[in-house]
C-alpha cells in the first residue's frame, strides 16, 4: 500500500483524493494540506485522513511515502524541491512551473539525485484517443506528420484567470501532447490575437487566441485556445500526415433522437472529459512508484512545455515567431 499525501484541496486535489482512495489499486491517501486550513480540515474529515498544517509538514511526514501536488501553479516548484529533499516520489499537476528558471532548478535538483522522482500531470498521454493516434503516427503507416490542427475550448475559467494563463496553464496540454505525438521538438512559436468573442469577460483575458508552432522537422501546428466558448468543454486534434489524417475521437456519448433532431451531448469540464485518462495515469504512477521506476511525463517534459509557453507568451503583439531553445538534455531524461 503506497501512502500518499495530497497538497492542494481545490477541485483537482479533491478529485485526485477521491480517485486515489476509491479507484486506484495499491494506494491510499493518508493526509492532505491546503493553504486554507479549514478547507484541508473539511476534506480530511470527509475521508478520515490527517489535515496537515502545511505542505512542508505533509512532505516531511514519515507516514507519507509519495506526494501529489495539486496546489496553485506558482507553488509547484517549491513543493517539488521540498519533496526532492527527502528523495520522495512526487506527482505534480501541470504546469511544472510558470518560469523557465524554476523548471531548470527542478531539473538540476533531480539530476543531482541521479534518479527520476518527479512526474508531471500531463494526463492526455493516457487518453485512449491520443494513445491510438500516437500508435498510428509511430507505425509510419500514414507517412510523416506534416500539420496539426488543435482546439482547446473551455466553457469558462476562474475570475483570476489571465491571457497568459490561457497559454501557460491551458494550451500547455497541447504543447506536451503534440510534442509527444510527433516525437519532435518545437523550434519557434507565436500567438495571434483574434477577433474577440462576445462570450468572454473581455476585461479579464483575451479570448480566443491562436497559437502557431514550428517543429525541428518542419511540421506546423495551430492551436485555437478558448477560455469561454459559450457551449462545452471541447478538445479537438487532427494530425495531417503524408498519406492520411488522424482525428482525436470525441468522448463516448449516446445519440438522442427527439423532436425531429438527432443529438449527442457534450461534456462541460475536463475532470469528466479526461476521467479515464486520470484513472489510467494514476494507476500507472502508483505502480511505477511501487516498482521504484517511474516512466510518465518527466521534469524535462514539464520544462519543454514551459519554455514553449514562455516563448509564445513573449511573442504576443509582435506578429513574429519567437525561438524556442532548450538547454542540453541531461542523460537522466534520455
In the DSSP assignment, the letter for residue 250 is P
State which residue, 170 or 207, has the beta carbon closest to ligand ISE: 170
**Least distance between ligand ISE and beta carbon 106 (Å):** 19
Q: Is 226 in the site for ligand ISE (CB under 6 A)?
A: no
| Residue number of the CB atom closest to ligand ISE | 170
The interface mask with ligand ISE, positions 252-281, x = CB under 6 A, is: ------------------x-----------
State which residue, 278 or 303, has the beta carbon closest to ligand ISE: 278
| 315: Cβ contacts below 8 Å, ≥ 6 apart | 189, 190, 191, 321, 322
Residue identified by cell 509557453 is 309
Taking a C-beta distance cutoff of 8 angstroms, is the pair 97, 307 a contact?
A: no
The interface mask with ligand ISE, positions 117-156, x = CB under 6 A, is: -------------------------------------x--
State which residue, 188 or 209, has the beta carbon closest to ligand ISE: 209
**Least distance between ligand ISE and beta carbon 223 (Å):** 12
Which residues ranging from 159 to 198 are in contact with ligand ISE (CB under 6 A)?
Answer: 169-170, 173
State which residue, 61 or 207, has the beta carbon closest to ligand ISE: 207
State which residue, 154 or 190, has the beta carbon closest to ligand ISE: 154
Instruction: For the chain, list the strands marked E by DSSP.
Output: 2-7, 27-33, 50-51, 66-69, 89-93, 118-121, 145-153, 186-193, 209-215, 220-226, 234-241, 244-247, 256-258, 261-263, 322-323
Mapping DSSP onto H, E and C, the string for 13-59 reads: HHHHHHHHHHCCCCEEEEEEECCCHHHHHHHHHHHCCEECCCHHHHH
Amino acid at each position: 500500500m503506497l501512502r500518499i499525501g495530497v497538497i492542494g484541496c481545490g477541485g483537482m486535489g479533491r478529485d485526485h483524493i477521491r480517485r486515489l482512495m476509491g479507484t486506484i489499486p495499491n494506494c491510499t491517501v493518508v493526509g492532505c494540506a491546503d493553504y486554507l486550513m479549514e478547507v484541508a480540515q473539511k476534506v480530511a474529515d470527509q475521508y478520515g485522513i490527517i489535515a496537515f498544517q502545511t505542505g512542508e509538514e505533509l512532505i516531511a511526514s514519515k507516514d507519507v511515502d509519495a506526494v501529489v501536488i495539486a496546489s496553485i501553479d506558482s507553488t509547484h516548484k517549491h513543493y517539488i524541491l521540498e519533496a526532492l529533499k527527502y528523495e520522495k516520489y512526487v506527482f505534480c499537476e501541470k504546469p511544472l512551473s510558470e518560469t523557465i528558471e524554476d523548471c531548470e532548478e527542478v531539473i538540476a535538483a533531480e539530476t543531482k539525485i541521479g534518479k527520476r522522482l518527479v512526474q508531471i500531470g500531463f494526463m492526455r498521454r493516457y487518453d485512449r484517443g491520443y494513445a491510438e493516434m500516437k500508435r498510428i503516427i509511430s507505425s509510419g503507416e500514414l507517412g510523416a506528420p506534416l500539420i496539426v490542427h488543435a482546439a482547446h475550448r473551455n466553457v469558462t475559467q476562474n475570475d483570476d484567470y489571465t491571457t497568459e494563463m490561457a497559454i501557460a496553464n491551458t494550451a500547455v496540454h497541447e504543447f506536451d501532447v503534440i510534442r509527444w505525438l510527433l516525437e519532435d521538438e518545437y523550434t519557434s512559436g507565436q500567438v495571434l490575437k483574434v477577433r474577440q468573442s462576445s462570450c468572454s469577460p473581455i476585461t479579464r483575458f483575451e479570448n480566443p487566441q491562436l497559437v502557431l508552432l514550428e517543429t525541428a522537422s518542419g511540421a506546423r501546428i495551430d492551436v485555437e485556445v478558448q477560455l469561454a466558448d459559450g457551449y462545452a468543454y471541447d478538445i479537438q486534434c487532427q494530425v495531417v500526415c503524408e498519406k492520411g489524417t488522424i482525428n482525436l475521437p470525441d468522448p463516448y456519448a449516446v445519440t438522442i433522437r427527439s423532436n425531429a433532431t438527432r443529438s449527442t451531448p457534450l461534456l462541460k469540464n475536463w475532470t469528466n472529459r479526461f476521467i479515464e485518462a486520470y484513472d489510467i495515469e494514476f494507476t500507472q504512477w502508483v505502480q511505477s512508484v511501487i516498482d521504484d521506476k517511474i516512466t510518465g511525463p518527466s521534469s524535462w517534459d514539464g520544462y519543454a512545455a514551459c519554455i514553449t509557453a514562455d516563448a509564445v507568451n513573449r511573442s504576443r503583439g509582435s506578429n513574429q515567431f519567437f525561438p524556442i531553445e532548450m538547454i542540453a538534455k541531461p542523460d537522466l531524461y534520455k
